C-alpha cells in the first residue's frame, strides 16, 4: 500500500546557462521546492504528503516541472503563486488545477 496520500516530485536539475535544453532550476524550481516542502511542514502534513527533489524529468522546455502522484498529474509551475494554487486545490482539496497542466 502507498504510504503517502500524495507524493510530489519537483525537478531542480541545473544546466549551464548556455545549454540549449535549459533547466528547471534556472526557472525558479528551487523556490517552488522550498515552498512545497515548507508548506507541508507548516501544515503538519509530513505523514501524508511527501515532497521529493528530482533531477531531470525529461520535460525541460516545459518546466519548472512538478509531478503529483498517485494521479500522475504533470504541472508546469512558473511561480510560487501557482504552487500555492496547486497546493490549496490539488493537495488540500483533491482538485487538480487544469490551467497549469503541462502541455507537451
Name the grid cell of 17: 546557462
φ/ψ of residue 35, rounded to 5: -60, -50
Of 50 and 62, nearer to ligand FES (C-beta) is 62
By CB under 6 A, tell whether 39 contacts ligand FES: no
Report the DSSP beta bridge partners of residue 11: 54
3-state secondary structure of 36: helix
Within residues 55-84, the interface with ligand FES by CB under 6 A covers 56-60, 63, 65
Residue 63: CB minimum distance to ligand FES, A: 4
Q: Which three cell numbers stand for residue 41?
A: 511542514
- The helix (run of H) or strand (run of E) holding residue 1 is none
State which residue, 59 or 92, has the beta carbon closest to ligand FES. 59
User: Which residues would be at the binding site for ligand FES (CB under 6 A)?
Assistant: 11, 13, 23-24, 56-60, 63, 65
Amino acid at each position: 500500500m502507498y504510504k503517502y496520500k500524495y507524493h510530489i516530485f519537483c525537478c531542480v536539475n541545473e544546466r549551464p546557462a548556455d545549454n540549449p535544453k535549459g533547466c528547471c532550476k534556472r526557472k525558479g524550481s528551487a523556490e517552488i521546492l522550498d515552498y512545497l516542502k515548507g508548506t507541508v511542514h507548516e501544515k503538519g502534513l509530513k505523514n501524508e504528503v511527501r515532497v521529493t527533489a528530482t533531477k531531470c524529468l525529461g520535460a525541460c522546455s516545459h518546466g519548472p516541472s512538478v509531478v503529483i502522484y498517485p494521479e500522475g498529474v504533470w504541472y508546469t509551475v512558473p511561480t510560487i503563486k501557482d504552487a500555492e494554487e496547486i497546493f490549496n486545490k490539488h493537495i488540500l482539496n483533491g482538485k487538480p488545477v487544469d490551467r497549469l497542466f503541462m502541455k507537451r
